Chain A
C-alpha cells in the first residue's frame, strides 16, 4: 500500500510539471500532429492502400500506434535524467517500496499518453478521419493502444535505468524511427519487398496498428497473412510478452543500482 501511495506521489510530481511547463507536453503533441499532417497530406496522395480505402482513414490508427511506441523515448529520458541527477538515489534513500519509482513513472507516462491519444483522435476527426464501428470496438482499440504504451513503458524504464548517459537517450531517439517505419503504421506491409514486408508484419507495432484499424472500422491495408484474422490477439499478445520480459529486466536493472 505504501508502495502504491509513494508511486502516486511520484506520478503527481510529473503532473505538476504539466502545470509548471505546459509548453513541454504541448510541444510533444505538436510534433505528433505535424507527423499526422505530413503523412496525411504531403505524402498521403502518393500512397495507395492495398484492398482499397482512403489513406487518412488508414493512416490515423497507425499514427496513434506510432505515437504510443515513440513514448519509449520519453520514458527512457525521464528515467535516465532522474538517475543521473541523483533524484533516483534520493528516492532510494527513502523508506518507500522499491517498485514506487517505476510505478510513479508508469502513472505519469500513461496519463501523458492518454491525453496525447485524445488530442490525436480529435485532430484526426477534424481532418476527416471517421470511426466506422461501434463504441465498444472503438473503446477496445483505445485500450489496445494504451496496452502497447504500457509495454514500451517498461522497455523505456529498463533502458533508462541501464544506460544513464545522455548518449543513451540519443540512441533511443535514433532507433525508434526505423522500428516505427518498419511496420504497417504508415504504409501497408504489402507494398514492401517480400522479406521486408514479413518483418514489418511481425513488428508488434503492426499488430496494434492493424487491430486498431479493424476495431475502428478503417481500411486495414492487409489482405493476407496472420494479421487479417489475428491482429487483435497479436495486439494483446505482443505487449503482454514485452511486459513479461521487460518488467523483470527493469526490476533487475533497479536492483543493479545497488552494485
Chain B
C-alpha cells in the first residue's frame, strides 16, 4: 500500500439515513488517471470531498501522498488540486487574475504567481483570453481555467469531480485533452464521472461505485470481460420469420438468442466473435436469408455498469 498515492480504507459517512460512504476502499498508484464511475447519488462527490479534506468522515482512514487526510489536512492540501462540479473561479476577474490570486493563496510570492499563471494559461490555451473577464468565457474555457487553478503547485493528486458535466462535445474533447496532458506529467488524477465513455477514454483503471462503496475495480477491458464475451448481432429483413431464424442460429453458435422484435435484431453473447460469425453466416446461408446487418462488438461499459449495479440491487 505504501507506494500508492491515494488510499482509502473503509471510509464511512452518513447523512441522516443515507450512507453516502459505506465502507469505501480505494488505492491508486502514482501517475495514472483513475476513474470513479457511478450513478447520481452513488457517493462519488462525497468520496472526493472526504479525500480532499473538505468533510469529516464518520469512520475509516485515507491518505493522500503519504499524509493522513484526517490528521494531516494541511500537508494534504499542499499536495492536491480540487476541481469541483461547478467551475469555482471568480467570474468578474480575468483568467490571469484568478490564477495569480490562487497562486498567492498557495504561498507563491506575486512574481512567482504571475510566472506560474502565464505558464498555465499557455498550457491550457487561454493566453489570448488571459485578461478578459471569466464571465465572457465559454464553458470549456472556464473548465480549463478551473483545472489550471488546481494545478498551480503541480499537485501529487488532482481531483476532478465530473469535469465535463454540462459541456458540449467540443468543450468536452478540450477538457479530455487537458486531463491526458496532466497525467503525462506525473500527477495522479481521480476522475469521477457518470459518463461511461469518459471513463473508457481517459482512465487506466476504473472503480465502479454504487451505494457508497466500490463494487468493482479493474482496467476498462477487464471490466468488459467480466460481463462475458463478444456480442454478435444480426438484423433480419422484415419478411423473414424472426423466431425460427433465431433458433436455427442459436443451435449453430450454441448460445441463447436475445431477440429485439422492434429492430428485428437477434443478439448472441459468444466466446470468440470471429468463430461465431462464421457459424452464423453458414446458418443464414443454409436458410437462404440475407441479413440486413451483421455486427460484432465487445461489450460496452454501459453493459458492465448495468450488470454490476443490477447484481448489487439483487443482492
Contact = CB atoms under 8 A, between A and B. Distances in A.
Interface of A: 2, 6, 9-10, 12-13, 16-17, 20-21, 85-87, 89-96, 100, 257-259
Given A9-B105, A16-B97, A93 B86 contact: no
B60 interface: no
Contact of A20 (B49, B55, B93): B93
A6 B102 CA distance: 10
Nearest to B91: A85
B86 A85 contact: yes
Contacts of A258: 54-56
Interface string B101-112: 110111100000
Interface of B: 49, 52-56, 74, 77-78, 80-82, 84-90, 92-94, 97, 101-102, 104-107, 133, 149
Given A89-B54, A93-B77, A20 B133 contact: yes
Contact of A92 (B54, B56, B97): B54
Residue of A17, A91, A92, A259 with highest tally of chain B CB at under 10 A? A92
What 6 A-B pairs have minimum CB-CB distances, sorted nearest first? A86-B88, A93-B82, A90-B88, A95-B77, A86-B84, A95-B78
Nearest to B161: A86
A93 B55 contact: no
**Chain B interface mostly helix, strand, loop or mixed?**
loop
Contacts of A6: 105
Contact of A96 (B82, B87, B105): B105
20 contacts: A9-B104, A10-B105, A13-B93, A17-B93, A20-B93, A20-B94, A85-B86, A86-B84, A89-B54, A90-B88, A92-B54, A93-B53, A93-B54, A94-B102, A94-B106, A95-B74, A95-B78, A258-B54, A258-B55, A259-B55
Contacts of B133: 20
Contact of B82 (A2, A85, A89): A89
Given A9-B104, A93-B81, 17 more contacts: A9-B105, A13-B93, A17-B92, A17-B93, A85-B86, A86-B86, A86-B87, A87-B88, A87-B90, A89-B84, A90-B82, A93-B53, A93-B54, A93-B82, A100-B105, A258-B55, A259-B55
B90 A2 contact: no
A90 B107 CA distance: 15
Contact of B92 (A2, A21, A93): A21
Contacts of A85: 86, 88
A94 B105 contact: yes
A198 B105 CA distance: 48
